[in-house]
Structure 1
Amino acid sequence: MMKRRQFITRTAIGVGTVTALGACGQTTPSAGTTGSDLPIVHWQMATSWPTSLDTPFGAAQMVAAQVSAMTNGRFTIAPAAAGEIVPGLQVLDAVQAGTVQCGHSASYYYIGKNSALAFGTCLPFGFNAQQQNAWLYHGGGMEAMNKLYSDFNVIAFPAGNTGVQMGGWFKREVNTVSDLNGLKMRIPGLGGEVLARLGVNVQVLPGGEIFLALDRGAIDAAEWVGPYDDEKLGLNNAAEFYYYPGWWEPGSSFDFMVNLTAWQQLPKEYQAVLQAAAAYANVDCLSKYDSRNPEALQRLLAKGTKLRPYSREILTAAQRESTALLEEKAADNPSFREVYDSWKTFREAISRWHRVSELGYGSFAIAAPPPP
């Protein structure tokens, strides 16, 4: 186990690993091979997304498109929607078992395996997208996550981010903490655990099942991502109150997961291609969300959606319970503690800087509308 973890850490620091199974009888060429001497490789990718959600599923497709383009079609990956190969919440299992060579998912779907996997996606009241990327790429985050993933014979790279999410759709208004008591809400990850501590009956459903559950009253509320994706799912047709901000997902990363055995069988050129493709998709996905969400929100409002901010009472209670939950996780799980301590140190430093830079600018230029 230790040797495997040491390998993962070194690989992440070096070429910045992305794993994939050695499919199609591939044999690894010698280090000196280039161009047409590289093998022809075809992989399958399981994802957690329906094809209708063209931004997260599009990030998976972008990885595949970049890999094909950079290898002149010699290395191809076929993304499959949730349910086509495995259910949307079993992507990590499929990659670990070798059912597929790679997958595209969110690490926090798998906190039942190890609570520390939440860090790969986001933490309640944690990093925004810019901070998350800084931590992953240059704050030791990617190395920490791949140390965790090594227990599952997987290595992963960030390959998408949603930015700050919305706070969910509700059939009725929630103004106080007592309004949350007994509410049935679809919300995964540690955010769900925080709301459970506030009295919410938490449900975990893949994206493709949310609308029917909300529309038929199986749940009272649901969160997904933001205006563009939520409109795609039709959530505005099942609930009228739309809350913000999504304090539990201030900058959620998607992961491109690859089987470690497959990664080791790839020539170094293909390893570098996978890393570059994931990084491209990471930037592209966030940019799409930031360009598509503003118009989608205006369409939702025009259709009768009622936009509501969470009350300070709810936000304060949620932040208090979030801090308590993280400390409890760290006390119970040594691997959570290891990541959490370094994560907190990075958060303190980047928060000091962003209070001066990002908040200093945004509190004036963004908070106040421009003069007529």
Structure 2
Amino acid sequence: MKHSRRRFLKQAALRVGTGASAVAAAAASGAVAAAGLGLATPAIAQGLQRWHLVTSWAKGSAGPGTTADRLAARITAATDGKVDVRVLGAGELTSPFGVLDAVIDGAAEMAHTASFFWAGRAPAASYFTTMPFGLSPQAHSAWVRFGGGQALWDETYAPLEVKPLMAGNSGANMAGWFKAPLQSLASLSGAKIRTAGLGGEIYRRLGATTVTLPPTEIFGALQTGVIDAVEFLGPFSDRSLGFDQVADHYYFPGFNKPNGTAEALINANLWASLSDDLRAAVQNACDAENDAGLAEATWFNAQALAALRAGSTRIEALPDDIVEAARAASVEVLADYADKDAMTRRVDTSYRTALEALSGWERLYQG
């Protein structure tokens, strides 16, 4: 912790110095707006923090990319410009999978990404994005906010020295795009599928070969035949990435990712250094964007689905034997995963308790 704190303070000192010089020059010339800060002089006098938000997505990409942009704007506005957040898309400062280390090391103050990318470093992290046959978007949010999930998430990430917050949601996902039709379970044998999370392990046990790729590399791999299929998000994001141009078959239900929570990561030392009002403002901005992201995905998934139906895409249900085999495989996969370590067992227990309680309520009100 001390070593990380020294790195953070060194980076912060460099940025504050640079920011202070820019502000002083702008104030002297009476050209605050020209400095790109857009702040009134009193706000500058109270101190300005410039945060760099690195993401695992292409800047401005439909869904996660637009969520990151809105989140930055929300934090800047909610703090009256005391925290000025600038977004850097995947590859601008670091790779899509390098954003966690960038925040830990202080190269960036904040990241927008997905927790299951860090399963190799903290297995319990997977639960905070989604789990196969798991919580719906609304139920996941309820668990994190009111069912003890946030405290477990904080504890899971404490060794990584980052503060996690929900900050967007792509909603329920589709099962994926396939170049060749799926006739039965046998059709998955040898198929190369880009996927993420524990759904990948389920596909592997069903005979497929799973491939891990960052979002920015998926289209090229699908187009060139490096992969035969891709599971990413829902129609809104998938169509914007052009998957319908190279694959004809789009399957549901998305058993592997019934939820799509995005996370904001903030350097833990930076988070601790914030005043109570700034922490509350950042938290509220993340909460607001979490809700807005899900609303956006719900609306535009419907629009994109209609457009795909009007085109040449075949929207099809997965064969029954695939869903049945996936459900059976998930029992063993999730049981094995829960035994990774003590932290994962605790998170799994909490998650399963929430799933049982919330699924019962959802079934009741949905009829």
Q: CA RMSD in A?
A: 1.8
Number of equivalent positions: 334
Question: How far apart are residue 35 of structure 1 and its match?
Answer: 6.9
1:73 is aligned to 81
- 1:37 deviates by 6.4
Counterpart AA for 2:230: A
Deviation at 1:303, TM superposition (A): 2.0
> Does structure 1 residue 118 correspond to structure 2 residue 109?
no
* Alignment partner of 2:104 out of 96, 109, 118: 96
Residue in 2 that maps onto 1:173:
181
**1:260 aligned to 260, 268, 280, which one?**
268
Mapping 1:1-372, distance limit 5 Å: 22=12, 24-25=15-16, 38-358=46-366, 360=367
Would the aligned equivalents of 1:120 and 1:253 in 2 still touch at CA under 8 Å? Answer: yes
SS at match of 2:92: coil
Q: 1:132, 1:350 → 2: CA distance?
A: 9
Distance apart, 1:200 and its partner CA: 1.1
- Considering Cα pairs closer than 8 Å and 6+ residues apart, tell me whether 1 or 2 has the greater RCO: 1
Q: TM-score normalised to the size of structure 2? A: 0.87
Question: What is the deviation of 1:36?
Answer: 6.8
Tell me if structure 2 keeps the 8 A contact 1:186–1:210: yes
Q: Is the 8 A contact 1:121 1:253 kept in 2?
A: yes
Q: Confirm or deny: 8 A CA contact 2:185 2:319 kept in the other structure.
A: no
Whether the 8 Å CA contact 2:184–2:322 is kept in 1: the answer is: yes
CA distance in 2, matches of 1:346, 1:218: 39
Aligned to 1:6: none
**Percent identical across equivalent pairs?**
34
Q: How far off its partner does 1:39 sit?
A: 2.4
Deviations 1:291-329 (A, max 9, x none): 111111121122200111012211111111112111111
Is the contact made by 2:172 and 2:254 (CA closer than 8 Å) also made in structure 1? yes
What is the DSSP-based 3-state SS (H/G/I as helix, E as strand, rest coil) of the residue aligned with 1:104?
strand
d(CA) in 2 for partners of 1:258, 1:233: 28
1:189 is paired with a residue whose SS is coil
TM-score by length of structure 1 reads 0.86
CA distance in 2, matches of 1:165, 1:201: 20
Amino acid at match of 1:89: F
Unaligned 5+ residue runs, structure 1? 2-20, 27-33, 361-372
In the alignment, the residues of structure 2 paired with residue 334 and residue 71 of structure 1 have an alpha-carbon distance, to the nearest angstrom, of 38
Distance 1:22 1:38, change over 3 A: farther
SS in 2 for 1:94: helix
1:171–1:294 Cα change, 3 Å: same
